[in-house]
Amino acid sequence: MSTDALIAAANAWLEQDPDAVTHTELEALIADASKGDETAIAGLHHRFDTRLAFGTAGLRGELGAGPNRMNRVLVTQAAAGLAAYLLTHEISPSIVIGYDGRINSEVFARDTATIMAGAGVRAILLPRLLPTPVLAFAVRHLNVSAGVMVTASHNPANDNGYKVYLGGDNHGSQIVPPVDGEIAHAIDVVAKGSITELPRSTDFVTTDDGVVDEYIARTAALGKPVADVIYTYTAMHGVGWETSKAVFATAGLTAPVLIEEQAHPDAAFPTVAFPNPEEPGAMDLSYAKAREVGADVAIAHDPDADRLAVAIVGRDGEWRRLSGNEVGILLGWRAAERANGVGVLAASIVSAPALRAIAADYGMTYRDTLTGFKWISRIDGLTFGYEEALGYLVDPDKVRDKDGISASVDFLSLVAELKTQGKTVLDRLDEFTARFGAFASRQVSLRFDKVSEIGEMMAKVRANAPTEVGGYRVSAFTDFSSGVDGFIPSDILRMDFDGGARVIVRPSGTEPKLKFYVDASSTTGEGAERQAAAEAVATQLETGMRELLV
């Protein structure tokens, strides 16, 4: 856009913006841009040259004014577009709306409720800020057409987001294509007009604690503690503690040693650089407290409590976080034991292939999916599913999304059982290696300043498919962009190597990162030998991939 057209677009947005903060921000940018200020003009271009894309993750982005930011105008457009979509598919659609403790989460949720009610959609607002798994549960429990959760999960503090779930035949799973595109089209139609013209109504229902109480009761039923476990807990400044506390107590678990500094919602996330348990330093307070109290295990939720991180004392005596794959295979093994060989185990393609080995051993079906729980949750006959990014689904009959709270109950019950046997989590991992083989994984994120640079790197690798990485020959190079193995076309590359190792490369769906995943395995020798062999291959491939992607 020319500068004049840019300023005109910004003024048109300003006229419909009901938020004092973003209104003031945009007024200042327009004023400075009108004077020829290059920084202000660049700022307007960044906000108005494009808009946040509505996709299978809904919306997620930085807070601020303009269509390329999360704000009340954009959320209102999204709500109206979603309402239009629902009304074309049902005569009397309904929706439940939840929100976490981030900046503007409640505001966005209430805006959504008033737009839905104004459009003629029966709208139900959860009673207060709550974890994402409670909203996912509510979609099924209340038998509504759809659900919206306002959260940016583990993103930086100045982000927010908008997750959409569908009921009915979708069973409360997040949206997938082609539905995301249909909703996006409806949103684009709304965006051609002004949100000031949209009908609104306060005729929506704020539900009582019944749905929360039912979630707590059904999640607690997963717990079978047979010994007292000493464990620390952090909510990472999010909304997990209130609900988790009730679940743990109802399940009969001992109360955790709480990381007080991170226990309660704080949208500034003051003690962490990134509110993500995977990030370096995020669990440092947990490690310190765990050492102090002699804990058996430390657990952490991300800010909306749909992910679980687990830390233990390593072989060197130092605390370390288990990888998502380590937690996933332990919970998956546990699920297979309970299932007695009946059902399906599933994991995203970037997760370790170890779950496949468990399924084969128990005579169960195994399914790979594309990344994201929106795919895992849709597997027919699912018994257990996980993705290496700390997401686990241990009770698919209750909820069809990753759930850090139910996974916590299941893992703590495992620790309790091991404790009665005089064993630790490390012992259980050794038992896994002896029975199923050793699996070594690496997950590396390369952060880019511009999203376009990620696309350029993916194009570079596609155009120059490597024949060797880290000294290992590439036996197969698979480009998922045209659809592979029944998957929809996806921006994913996979390299398989002689000996069975693999590397998968893909852009992050929620952050400006390019990720690659390395997996290697070994069944040769005893446990320590198996692990060393798998780790050596994984290390070589990681080094080779870092050299390739520079």
Question: Model confidence at 455, in pLDDT bands (50, 70, 90)?
Answer: confident
Residue 67: CB atoms within 10 A of its CB come to 17
Q: Specify the 3-state DSSP secondary structure of 90.
A: coil
Query: From CA 289, how far away is CA 283, in angstroms rounded?
Result: 10
Give the per-residue pLDDT at 478: 94
Using one digit for the tens of pLDDT, what is the confidence trace for 315-347? Answer: 999 999 999 999 999 999 999 999 988 999 999
Give the per-residue pLDDT at 510: 62
Query: From CA 80, how far away is CA 120, in angstroms rounded?
Result: 11
State yes or no: pLDDT of 451 exceeds 80. Answer: no
Query: From CA 464, how far away is CA 484, in angstroms rounded?
Result: 20
Q: Is 117:205 a contact under the CB 8 Å cutoff?
A: no
Q: What is the mean pLDDT of residues 139-157?
A: 96
**Burial per residue of 343-369, b for 16 or more beta-carbon CB atoms within 10 angstroms, e otherwise:** bbbbbbbbbbbbbbbbbeebebbbbbb
State yes or no: pLDDT of 519 exceeds 70. Answer: yes
Contacts 24+ apart (CB under 8 A), 348-351: 348/372, 348/375, 348/376, 348/386, 348/387, 348/388, 349/492, 349/494, 349/504, 350/387, 350/388, 350/443, 350/504, 350/506, 350/515, 350/517, 351/324, 351/325, 351/386, 351/387, 351/388
Residue 454: CB atoms within 10 A of its CB come to 20
Same fold for the domain at 53-208 and the one at 219-435? yes
State yes or no: pLDDT of 291 exceeds 80. Answer: yes
Position 345: which residue type? Answer: L
Q: What is the share, in percent, of the chain residues with pLDDT greater than 90?
A: 91
Say which CATH topology domain 219-435 has.
Alpha-D-Glucose-1,6-Bisphosphate; Chain A, domain 3 (3.40.120)
Question: Model confidence at 486, in pLDDT bands (50, 70, 90)?
Answer: confident
Owner of token pair 């994991």: 347
The DSSP-derived string for 295-318 is -SEEEEE-TTS--EEEEEE-TTSS
**Please, is 471 exposed, middle or buried when counting C-beta atoms within 10 Å of its C-beta (0-12, 13-18, 19+)?**
exposed
Give the per-residue pLDDT at 1: 83
Using one digit for the tens of pLDDT, what is the confidence trace for 351-397? Answer: 999 999 999 999 999 999 998 899 999 999 999 999 999 999 999 99
Tokens of 330: 């332990």
Matching CATH number, 53-208, of 3.40.120.10, 3.40.50.1820, 3.30.9.10, 3.30.70.270:
3.40.120.10
Residues whose CB is less than 8 angstroms from the CB of residue 529 and which lie 6 or more positions away in sequence, other chains included: 522
For the whole model, what pTM was predicted? 0.94
Catalytic residues: 153
24 versus 454: which is more confidently predicted? 24
Q: What is the share, in percent, of the chain residues with pLDDT greater than 70?
A: 99
Using one digit for the tens of pLDDT, what is the confidence trace for 28-72? Answer: 999 999 999 999 999 999 999 999 999 877 999 999 999 999 999
Using one digit for the tens of pLDDT, what is the confidence trace for 459-475? Answer: 999 999 999 999 999 99
State yes or no: pLDDT of 509 exceeds 70. Answer: no
Give the start-to-end residue ranges of the domains of the chain.
1-49, 53-208, 219-435, 437-548
Question: Model confidence at 87, in pLDDT bands (50, 70, 90)?
Answer: very high
Give the per-residue pLDDT at 224: 84
Q: Does domain 437-548 have CATH number 3.30.310.50?
A: yes
Give the per-residue pLDDT at 512: 76
Using one digit for the tens of pLDDT, what is the confidence trace for 206-255? Answer: 999 999 999 999 999 999 889 999 999 999 999 999 999 999 999 999 99
Question: Model confidence at 485, in pLDDT bands (50, 70, 90)?
Answer: confident
Q: What is the mean pLDDT of residues 118-146?
A: 98
Query: From CA 375, how far away is CA 416, in angstroms rounded?
Result: 32
